[in-house]
Chains A and B, each alone.
Chain A
Amino acid sequence: MPAQQINHPLPSGFQLDRYRIERQLSLGGFSIVYLAFDDDGTPVAIKEYLPNSLALRSEGQIIPAISEEHQAAFRHGMKCFFEEGRALAHLSHPNVVRVLNFFRANETVYMVMQYERGRTLQEHVQKHRGEIREIFVRNVFTRLLNGLREVHTQKLLHLDIKPSNIYLRTDGNPVLLDFGAARQALGASGHSLKPMYTPGFASPEQYKSPFKMGPWTDIYSVGASIYACLSGASPQAADKRVEKDQLVPATKRFADKYSGQLLEIIDWCMVLDFQERPMSVFQLQKALAERHQLVRRQPSWFDNLGQGLRSLIGK
């Protein structure tokens, strides 16, 4: 097996269309994301389609080399990249990353997105390990689910929801990022462009039976992300759980710190059998909202939560 090719990013200061590249923000299997400035000096995030198993950019090169045998696969992947762009273009939601432009250059394609300031949920959880409050979790995920519902309405699955793909803007509003894995999933794809998944957050069907994927697939990842917020670490990977389930249910592990209702929802989202999970984001949101009604009937709880809310706003 050949060693994985490692692609070099475009150099800092490179003029790409009407944007000037500042630096690389992240590198994935399918793409490189850059921080860049447009001609008005507005910062943007630019995602470059560059699947590292098919296209190679060596140091000092601008146009990636794509061998003849990989041409078809490269274009196939490009089609997926278009699908991501197309779906995001139709989405204008405060909790979903916004696409600003799409263009072709250097024999590949680029997607320009709004650049968000803040930090990822993962960074936040790591910084506040062990002191994540229920009201915070509910606030972030209730709003995030609004965005995810819009995504699903566009017949798109995100397929890589995890705390590091959830961005917390400086105003505390979450934004769902990186639709690189998103797909109008059509069964298993060819070997050169294997679907990517993140162990711990990917559902069992993403490993074994991609044709069973649906909204419940993202819902598993939402459950796993909430679990990770409470535990401060990735839950056991779904493929391992299928072999031997060692995940301590949230209702057991966090019983003393969070409401039973929230914990039950986490466990419900993370059931291995996809048919047993909430079938839609709406159903999940409804379950989450039921708690709020309960809260209103118990003034002592409400006071506590109210304080939590105020301290969050105060930040």
Chain B
Amino acid sequence: MRFTVYQESRIGKRKSNQDRVAYCYSRDALLMVVADGMGGHLHGEVAAQIAVQYITEAFQREATPTLRDPFGFLAAGLNNAHNAVLDYTLERDLPDAPRTTCVACVIQNSIAYWAHAGDSRLYLIRGDRPHSQTHDHSRVQLMVDDGLITEEEAMNHPGRNRVYSCLGGTIPPQIDFSAKTALHTGDIIVMATDGFWGPLGTEALVRGFAGRHVVEITPRLMDDAEVLGGRTADNLSVIAVTWEDGYGDITTGSVQTQTMPITAHTTQMEGFDKARLRESDLTDDDIEKAIEEIRSAIHKYSK
């Protein structure tokens, strides 16, 4: 396998980053996952992290070095991640289930398979045109489908963040699967949360990536999305990969997996440490308050 991959997760203008992204590959298979924890729900970032971690761990167990049944893997991965989030909710007796969107893609033998729940998207760009893309599980998308509003109006619709399928909610997720899609050399797959595709829009996104080097263009498009997102810019995360199997020129910085041992895996995750640390910034006041609280508890329980 030969490909170039780039991933990045940014906090935008929010207090915490609830997006999680990861890619992971064996000698003959590549997995990419994007999850967007639901901001309005408790522990959204935990749900996103569980989903990404669960699916990448399953990949490391099962891609030896290919997956026997990629769609089966995706179905089990997303459903099990959903159950893992529920287990977490039950174990900790959380009042509200944390939830996350999820889009996951497997590529092996130059064939792509993907599945998603919610409104994190996957675009396959061939040449300068969108070849295929996921269909959001959102009310706004349904309204567009029914011709009630245009794509343009959907971009600014107040309810555009509402999704009806996700992992971890009380209702089992609706998971949609792609067709088995044979990749050509130079195909670009972009997976992103709504903080990225939302402000940019599909057209600008496809135009931006077409024919460009993902490592150079992705951060620039993220800059654009962040600016367009304005003062309340959402978390934004992207994984972009250029498929290079075949006879194209070797791009510098690309990953070649031919020399990897069959049992080896490489995993890259984004959005974990930075988000966690930023959120936990303690001010001096917080410290004084915590100490005061502990002292009064000690006093109260000591006799």
Which A residues form the contact surface with B (CB < 8 A)?
A: 72-73, 75-76, 78-79, 82, 85-86, 89-92, 98-104, 109, 155, 186-192, 208-209, 211-212, 214
Contact = CB atoms under 8 A, between A and B. Distances in A.
A187 B46 contact: yes
B87 interface: yes
Contacts of B43: 186
A73 B43 CA distance: 20
Contacts of B280: 72, 75-76, 79
A78 B283 CA distance: 11
A189 B275 CA distance: 11
Nearest to B283: A75
B296 to A, nearest CB: 9
Nearest to B84: A211
A211 B272 CA distance: 14
A109 B298 contact: no
A188 B301 contact: no
Nearest to A186: B46
Considering residues B278, B288, B293, B294, which has the most beta carbons from chain A within 10 angstroms of its beta carbon?
B294
B276 A82 contact: no
B301 A91 contact: yes
B84 A85 contact: no
B224 interface: no
Interface stretch (B49-57, B233-241, B252-260): B49-57
A190 B275 CA distance: 10
B197 to A, nearest CB: 27
B282 A187 contact: no
Contact of A75 (B84, B272, B282): B282
Interface string B248-287: 0000000000000000000000001100111011100001
B298 A101 contact: yes
Contact of B291 (A109, A192, A214): A109
Given A75-B282, A190-B272, A190-B277, A212 B87 contact: yes
B88 A211 contact: yes
B57 A102 contact: no
25 contacts: A72-B277, A72-B278, A76-B277, A76-B280, A76-B282, A79-B282, A79-B290, A82-B290, A85-B294, A89-B294, A89-B298, A89-B301, A99-B294, A102-B294, A104-B291, A109-B287, A187-B49, A187-B50, A187-B53, A188-B49, A188-B272, A189-B276, A190-B272, A190-B276, A211-B84
Given A89-B301, A186-B46, A191 B294 contact: no
B297 interface: yes
Chain B at the A interface: SS class: helix
Contacts of B68: none
Contacts of A86: 290, 293-294, 297
B91 A76 contact: no
Given A86-B290, A191-B273, A211-B50, A100 B298 contact: yes
A229 to B, nearest CB: 29
Given A186-B46, A188-B53, A78 B298 contact: no
Centre residue among A78, A91, A208 by max chain B CB count within 10 A: A78
Contacts of B291: 82, 102-104, 109
B194 to A, nearest CB: 23
Contact of A92 (B53, B277, B287, B302): B302
B295 interface: yes
A104 B287 contact: yes
- Top 3 A-B pairs ranked by shortest CB distance? A89-B297, A190-B273, A72-B277
A91 B301 CA distance: 7
Looking at B49, B84, B280, the one whose CB has the most chain A CB atoms below 10 A away is B280
B87 to A, nearest CB: 7
Contacts of B46: 186-187, 211
A84 to B, nearest CB: 10
Contacts of A190: 272-273, 276-277
> Considering residues A72, A86, A191, which has the most beta carbons from chain B within 10 angstroms of its beta carbon?
A72
Contacts of A192: 273
